[in-house]
Amino acid sequence: MTSDGPRPPPRRRFFGAFGQRELKGLFWQVLVVGIVVAVIVFLWSNTVTNLSVRRITTGFAFLGREAGMPIADSLLAYNPRDSYLWAFVVGIANTLRVAVIGIVLATILGTVIGISRLSANWLLSRLAAVYVETLRDIPLLLQLLFWYVLMQALPAARAAWRPIEGVFLSNRGFILPAIPIGTPQLWVLGTAVLGLVVFYVIRRRLIAQQMRDGKPRPAWPFALGLLVVLPAAVSVLLGVAWTIEWPELRGFNFVGGLTLAPEYFALLIALVTYTSAFIAEIVRSGIQSVPRGQWDAANALGLRRSFMLRQIILPQALRVIVPPMTSQYLNLTKNSSLAVAIGYQDVVSIANTTLNQTGQAIEAIALIMAVFLTISLGISFFMNWYNSRIALVER
């Protein structure tokens, strides 16, 4: 037998725990990051040098100056003597006004069209298919221009169409009755929103208790108290007057009520109809992803088709529907920038006017990018949170 001699000491790796493969990966990462930083520094220094040669000032100090631009249709109060900063805020509000309402309406319409495509009624399903295939294949800009030209071709205010009492449609826009909203009304609405949040929490606890002991607990008393009685009590205590303001024709225009300008109305219709065609296909594919056995089991229990769809099929289909639906919400929000083509003054239009008046091109474009990035990240965060709440949890 040969005795083993003393073992040589283990070879130490360079930089401790890093091996040759790790060192190569670290080297290439540092190299790539260094190149990116160098390119950014070069572009920034080159931009600053060219701007200084042309005597163009940089920075956001111009936001405090008087804007002097008119904004015809604004959700917030605005005067041309206000600053550029407030003009940007008004533009952001106009963008959100289109995006939020458009997302809600496109979701409702797209869901209805998607379910209609699966209807047993041949005519209804074919009409839904024609709707989807037609609107998806026409560019959004063309649809937007079509609706805007159609709005301009409507009769003048004196000959406005009146489909129902108090509602007018003319080349001045879509005029509706409205309830004036002031500070007291906002308090009541805030109370209703707070009651809705509290009711959501209570309802979840009632469902959790029912899952533990099997005893159903009615939620309608809480809904009645939080959503009806509580706001009504606040309204009575504050003495809020809920009066309807009816529009009426005076001279060549309408006074009172709520006026949706032709530019806003055309943009909203184009975004809703175009996006709803894509949402319809998402809803259809989500419903078809549910196994057929779920339908057969529900039919065997004698459940109504509407109840079956609402309580059994759609909750399971949401796990397939929500991720691509997020992309459509983002597309609708970003497509709202096409408003500049018809003169609706959203944040892009106001930024373009600011750029022309001040010459602050980089700052104006940076503000547009920051606004859409913030809105898009907010939508993505909410939809990802909702998707995680409805995801299947394996035991």
3-class DSSP state for residue 169? strand
Quick one: the chain helix, strand, coil %, rounded to 5?
70, 5, 25
- Domain at 84-173+254-390, CATH from 2.30.110.10, 3.30.70.360, 3.90.1150.220, 1.10.3720.10: 1.10.3720.10
Closest CA to 244 of 196, 308, 180, 192: 180
pLDDT tens for 275-309 read 999 999 999 999 888 888 887 787 788 778 777 88
- pTM confidence score: 0.81
pLDDT surpassing 90 at residue 243? no
The pLDDT > 90 percentage for the chain reads 35
Residue ranges of domains in the chain: 84-173+254-390, 181-242
Closest CA to 345 of 68, 67, 144, 73: 73
3-class DSSP state for residue 301? coil
pLDDT surpassing 60 at residue 18? no
Cα separation of 109 and 94, whole Å? Answer: 22
